[in-house]
Amino acid sequence: MRVALFITCFNDTLFPQTGRAVVQVLERLGHQVDFPFEQTCCGQMHFNTGYQREAIPLARRFVRVFADAEAVVAPSASCVAMVRHFYPMLARLSGDERLAADIEALRPRVFELSEFLVRRLGVEDVGAYYPHRVTYHPTCHSLRMLEVGDAPLRLLRQVRGIDLVELESAEECCGFGGTFAVKNADTSLAMLADKLRRVIDTGAEVCTAGDNSCLMQIGGALSRERAGVRTVHLAEILASTEEDARR
Amino acid sequence: MTLDAVVTRGHPTFEQRAPAALADSQLRHNLRNATGTIRRRRAAAVGEMPDWQALREAGRAIKERTLRHLDHYLLQLEAAVERADGQVHWARDGDEANAIVVDIVRRHGETAVVKSKSITSEETGLDAALSAAGITATETDLAELIVQLAHDTPSHILVPAIHFNRAQIRELFIRELGVPGLSDRPADLAEAARVYLRRKFLETRIGITGANFAVAETGTVCVVESEGNGRMVATLPDVLITLAGIEKVLPTWRDLEVFLQLLPRSSTAERMNPYNSFWTGVTEGDGPREFHLVLLDNGRTDVLRDEVGRQALRCIRCSACLNVCPVYSRVGGHAYDSVYPGPIGAILTPQLRGLAQAGSLPWASSLCGACYEVCPVMINIPEALVHLRGRVVREGQDARGLRGRLDPENVAMQAVALAFGDARRFEAAQRLLLRGAGPVTRAGAAPGGRGPLAAWTTLRDLPDLPGQTFRDWWRENR
Amino acid sequence: MSGAREDVLRRVRAALRDVPTGETPEDVPVPRDYRGAGVLQREEVAALFAERVAEYRATVHRVTQDGIAEAVAEACARRGARRIVVPPDLPDGWLPGEIEVVRDEGLSNAALNDSDGVLSGCALGIAQTGTIVLDGGPRQGRRAITLLPDYHLCVVFADQLVELVPEAIALLEAAARTGRPVTFISGPSATSDIELQRVEGVHGPRTLEVLLVEEAVTQSPVLRRQRNATRPAHVRESGRTGSRR
């Protein structure tokens, strides 16, 4: 099928390798990937920080850009949650019924990567090879808002060569929370400290997740601690093949 | 200075209070044990119930029905209580409620009362009002007694003395109850409290309780408790006064079947808490001869007015959200500066007290959603938090005119929104960041640097910046 | 304070401006897909009740109708209880000769406090939650007598038991409508306020003991009337064996 990639402003700017990985995986599975250049941002940062009036034009833009897509896929549960769960609230705030209708029409076609692969395409083995010890952190948006369930773990389990190890109290928030990480930095760090300890205790070489925002939080601390553990987005693991291992 | 800091000028914000709490190792330790324990037990108690989700749906719906027709049910409740020879009083705010209670006590010529657990009475500051009127109020709930004797304030809805360990309680009892040689075994501490309080129960003629539920159809007031002090206060005195927020009302007796299942498992993680007391007005030959129900507004109608925020009034005070909250379980209750802390407090307090006073609370959350998962009446706390953030920002922008628009955070957010509003502007901003960001990033992250970057880099590294954006890669390679 | 009443009601109505004028409370749907009735057989209900009550560290003894007095005697002997308070209408047949019985005809709180315990019946029991319910009806007396003594010995008939909370609430509706006070007792009093360790015994009776009566079937109409007097209507015996509801 034809998939429109919603890269997210965050990944587009800071983690382009995640976007490349999504393209690789989808094309490997035989699908065509479009990238609408008009896309910018879903508006989540503004919305969550209380600047909701400012997020309305961004929602309008998003809906316009992706209106005709058969499916929209993003490597970010938080952005997908913004569209599926909070765009209706923005529409109500705007009082624009046309926008509300357009949002309703688009919502069912917007997916986070792991739920797209497992639930929409029915695929768990994407032909990946990643010979590393990996632990998975379920992000709050993917777990509680999108309810992706065990889709990411199903995908990871099919990765050849992987040594998957369970993360203790995995469901606990890493402390990022968008601007929370800086506005309430002390509390964010207290939460991060526990997540960090649990990641390190797994003995994993790599910590993965479906959101680079969480990985930036966790990875930032792992790096500061010189823990020798790196963070890699789920898409990049799924894109990885024997060829990559040989390089 | 950010908008929310300005909005809450004069009142310490959550982010100002949190660091001290985070650094208090005794508090951190107590909270960690306590919340971890209750979390596990709650999960077990709820896991036993195949119809838990159905109960939550019913609980949510019953509360919705009640709130949408609150005036109808309040009037029905009043009539039912009066038919049963009870008296109903209405209070617009906490001061008025306190005055009503003081007046009742005075009319009986009494100077002492016994009280059972009532967060609502803490909300109104009833104890201080009674004291000012020369009336001694003995708190009979063990944790409230501890907090009262320590001249402290409660830090948790359900376990107000959660921030005390047994050694601290022992010292307190030795000093205040006059029991030298007391051990720190919980059983001995409880015995000391029992002896002290039994005398009070038998001597005191006026009792004050809160209410968990008040049934409109029958006029029945319900108190859910563990220790038996609620039964004592509701049964032994001659005069009983119950203080209840207007959101405590339920439509019918039958509706209790839902909440008597939701509340115990969500709060103390039991199939049923030790004691539930139900009474209606006055019953001859059994219990108090006089009953007063004081119905309290104190900002609840403000909460009701907000169509998204009003779901906070469904709250049945179970505290399940506190125990699963990664913020509350590290910071504790005092940082919220309210009798309602934690996730529910973050949405209820600003609405009750006004955004100007408690405007920092909606930001005291990473929006993880764990609270919503466990709320027995399905309050969508993350949705309400974000909604309230929006109200604070909008009211700040609108109220403060030019100064509001020039607020640094507002300026930054407007600039980013502008960049995001057009693909070419967006790409220009991206390139600016990746090429020119080096010095800016380093400056912002330097020790002594201020702002978001400094806050980030206190304990976290920044990621390496990529050589090119995703879209530039796409352009070049596809 | 009629000014306050009118103000509060006015504010409530103003706050609900978004609710359509014609909407009635019943227009707000309340889905009741939770369990309304239990599925266990009578013996299983009794067994579950006994198990759950015992989990609260309240002792349960299973006795027959004819063995109540003896069980009371034994319990009191174990407890060292010599003076027991009882509600005015407690059957003589439940009382052994060995103990001093004080019928409550307006006992003072001090007298209740000084007694060695209280013996009562109950309105019903809930098996799932191990709950005993008092509604001020037959064999229960007023609330103070089951509150002040430190020891509560309670007689529960197996056919006073229901499995789930909604069933109990339904059976109590009549008492609630007449305004009679109701008390749910699920184990002895407890607190978890000290480091979250559950500590038994703060204010209510610190020892709760239950005599669960699975009556031997008897043809005596007098005893049947006595038993029926303590039972919810739907489980009364009619004198014809095998007809229960």
pLDDT tens digits along B63-75:
999 999 999 999 9
Grade residue C194 by pLDDT with cuts at 50, 70 and 90. low
Distance from CA of B456 to the nearest CA of A (A): 6
DSSP A170: T
Rounded Cα–Cα distance for residues B137 and B127 (Å)? 6
Contacts of C202 in chain B (CB under 8 A): 142, 190, 193-194, 226-229
CA-CA distance, B442 to B448, in Å (whole number)?
Answer: 11
pLDDT at A121: 97
Cβ of A144 within 8 Å of Cβ of B373? The answer is yes
**pLDDT of B8 strictly over 50:** no
Q: Is the pLDDT of residue C221 over 90?
A: no
Q: Is B355 on the interface with A (CB under 8 A)?
A: no
Domain coordinates of chain A in residue numbers? 2-120, 133-246
B15/A183 CB distance under 8 A: yes
Given this model, what pLDDT does residue B5 score?
Answer: 41
Asked which of A18-27, B190-199, C96-105 is least confident by mean pLDDT, the reply is B190-199
For residue B397, pLDDT beyond 50? yes
User: What is the band of B191 on the pLDDT scale with cuts at 50, 70, 90?
Assistant: confident
User: Rounded to an integer, what distance in angstroms lies between the CA atom of residue C229 and that of residue A15?
Assistant: 77
**SS3 state at A104:** helix
C-chain CB neighbours of B264 within 8 Å are 129
Contact B51 C35 (CB under 8 A): yes
User: Which chain B residue has the Cα nearest residue C165?
Assistant: B257
Beta bridge partners of B295: B90, B244
Residue to mutate among B63, B205, B260, B306, with most C CBs inside 10 A, is: B260
Distance CA B374, CA B322 (A): 10
Residue of B nearest to C192 (CA): B159
Residue range A161-175: average pLDDT? 97
Choice between C194 and B156, residue whose per-residue pLDDT is larger: B156
Residue C104 pLDDT exceeds 70: yes
Q: What is the pLDDT of residue B6?
A: 40
Query: Inter-chain contact B2–A183, Cβ cutoff 8 Å?
Result: yes
Residue of B nearest to A191 (CA): B326
B113 bridge partner residues: B137
Q: pLDDT tens-digit profile of B306-330?
A: 999 999 999 999 999 999 999 999 9
Are A45 and B416 in contact (CB < 8 Å)? yes
Maximal CA-CA distance, chain A:
56
pLDDT in tens, C81-95: 999 999 999 999 999
Question: For residue C117, what pLDDT is reported?
Answer: 97
User: What is the distance of C-alpha B226 from the center of its chain?
Assistant: 20
Is residue A144 less than 8 Å (CB to CB) from chain B? yes
B367/C107 Cα distance (integer angstroms): 57
Between chains, do C4 and B92 touch, taking CB under 8 Å as contact?
yes
Does the interface ipTM go beyond 0.85? Answer: yes
C31 vs B57, B264, B310: nearest CB: B57
Interface A:C, ≥3 CB–CB pairs < 8 Å: no
Which of B256, B313, B314 is the best residue to mutate to test the C interface, defined by the most C CB atoms within 10 Å of its own CB? B256
* pLDDT tops 80 at residue B338: yes
Would you state the pLDDT for residue B193?
84
CA gap B205, B108 in Å, rounded: 9
Is A127 at the interface with chain B, CB within 8 A?
no
Residue C181 in contact with residue C136, Cβ under 8 Å?
Answer: yes
Mean pLDDT for the stretch of residues A179-191: 94
Find the closest chain A residue to B370 by CA distance: A144
Share of chain B above pLDDT 90, in %: 71
In angstroms, the separation between the Cα of residue B406 and the nearest Cα of chain A is 15
Residue C218's pLDDT is 43
Across A107-114, average pLDDT: 98
Q: Phi then psi for C127, rounded to 5 degrees?
A: -70, -45
DSSP at C217? P
Buried b (16+ CB within 10 A) or exposed e, B41-75: bbeebbeebeebebbbbbbbbbbbbbbbbbbbbbe
pTM metric for this prediction: 0.92
Neighbours of C96 (CB within 10 A): 17
Which of B7, B367, B407 best tests the A interface by mutation, with the highest count of A CBs <10 A?
Answer: B367
- Euclidean distance between CA atoms A43 and A46, whole angstroms: 6
A133-246 CATH, one of 3.40.50.720, 3.30.390.50, 3.40.50.10860, 3.40.50.11810: 3.40.50.11810
Place of tokens 């400056």: B443
Q: Per-residue pLDDT for B373 more than 90? A: yes
Q: B118-162 pLDDT, tens per residue?
A: 999 999 999 999 999 999 999 998 878 888 888 876 666 656 666
pLDDT for C166 equals 98
Is the pLDDT at C190 greater than 80, yes or no?
no
What percentage of chain A exceeds 90 in pLDDT?
97
d(CA A164, CA A156): 8
- Check CB contact of A178 with chain B, cutoff 8 Å: yes
Residue B439 has pLDDT above 60, yes or no: no
Chain C neighbours (≥3 Cβ pairs under 8 A) are: B
Q: Is the pLDDT of residue A61 over 50?
A: yes
Confidence of residue B356 (pLDDT cuts 50, 70, 90): confident
* DSSP H or E run through C68: helix C68-79
Distance in Å, alpha carbon of B11 to nearest chain C alpha carbon: 27
Among A187, A198, A214, most B C-beta atoms within 10 A, so best to mutate, is A187
pLDDT for residue C188 is more than 80: no
Q: Averaged over A78-95, what is the pLDDT?
A: 96
A residues 188-217 lying closer than 8 A (beta carbon) to B: 188-192, 216-217
Closest partner CB to A7 (pick from B15, B434, B470): B470
Distance of alpha carbon A240 from its chain centroid, rounded? 17
Handedness of CA A221, A226, A229, A231 (dihedral sign): positive
Contact A144 B372 (CB under 8 A): yes
Query: What pLDDT was estimated at residue C245?
Result: 33
Is pLDDT of B3 > 70? no
Specify the pairing of strand C124-126 against strand C131-134: antiparallel
Q: CA B397, B403, B405, B407 torsion: positive or negative? A: negative
Q: Which residue of B has its CA nearest to C108?
A: B202
Q: How confident is the model at residue B172 (pLDDT cuts 50, 70, 90)?
A: confident
Restricting to A residues 62-101, those with a Cβ less than 8 Å away from any Cβ of B are 86, 89, 93
Instruction: Please state, rounded to an integer, the average pLDDT across all residues of chain C.
Output: 88
Give the gap in angstroms from C-alpha C209 to the nearest C-alpha of chain B.
14
Instruction: Confirm if B353 and B392 have CB atoms less than 8 A apart.
Output: no
- How far does the CA of residue B397 sit from the closest CA of chain A (Å)? 10
What mean pLDDT is predicted for residues C105-115?
Answer: 93
Confidence of residue C217 (pLDDT cuts 50, 70, 90): very low
Mapping DSSP to helix (H, G, I), strand (E, B) and coil, where does residue C118 land? strand
Alpha helices in A68-163 (DSSP H): 77-81, 87-94, 97-106, 113-115, 140, 151-157
Chains A & B: contacts with CB separation below 8 Å: 190
Residue whose entry in the numeric block shows the structure tokens 């590290």: B330
> Chain A, 15-54: which have a CB under 8 Å from a chain B CB?
15-17, 19-20, 35, 37-41, 43, 45-54
Q: Measured between CA atoms, how close is B5 to chain A, in angstroms?
A: 11
Distance CA C122, CA B23 (A): 52
Q: How far is B414 from chain A (nearest CA, A)?
A: 7
Contacts B90 to C, Cβ<8 Å: 1, 4-5, 7-8
Put simply, the answer to whether B417 touches A40 (Cβ < 8 Å) is no
Going by their DSSP bridges, the two strands A230-233 and A206-209 should be labelled as: parallel
Residue of C nearest to B37 (CA): C196
Question: What pLDDT is attached to residue C239?
Answer: 43
Cα separation, A233 vs A138, in Å, equals 12
Return d(Cα B23, Cα B40) in angstroms, integer: 25
Q: Is the pLDDT of residue B255 over 50?
A: yes
